[in-house]
Structure 1
């Protein structure tokens, strides 16, 4: 069993303008400040939950740890 934490590349592809404040705060807490910005985050249940809440604004890719 692997103890490595998987990572995800999350990119904001749609503006948060017009969406409620909670969704804007989720994008900011992921580290996404402006359109087309990307961050690498650990694949944990917490980050998956945040990604699922604003999945209509994001592009998510798995990143290999090699």
Structure 2
């Protein structure tokens, strides 16, 4: 793969509890592959993933930006 074809990835780690959060925030965590504390998921950097991260930014940390 050339540098132009490489896909950037983001490592997302859940740091906050979904307890007392809205259903859509819980569903977003599951969509990101997170549903337990300190679980890490590696996803391709895309506008859709960025939007999901923005929605639950108070419960996750992101590496690889």
Q: TM-score with structure 1 length normalisation?
A: 0.89
Question: Aligned pair count?
Answer: 63
Q: Find the counterpart in structure 1 of residue 47 from structure 2.
A: 45
Q: Residues of 2 paired with 1:18 and 1:2: CA distance?
A: 43
List alignment gaps of at least 5 residues for structure 1: none
Tell me which of 22, 25, 33 is aligned to 1:23.
Answer: 25
Greater helix share, structure number = 1
Q: TM-score, normalised by structure 2?
A: 0.91
Report what 2:61 is aligned to.
59
Partner of 1:3: 5
Cα RMSD for the two superposed structures: 1.4
Q: Which runs of 4+ in 1 moved over 4 A?
A: none
Q: Equivalent residue of 1:2, what SS? A: coil
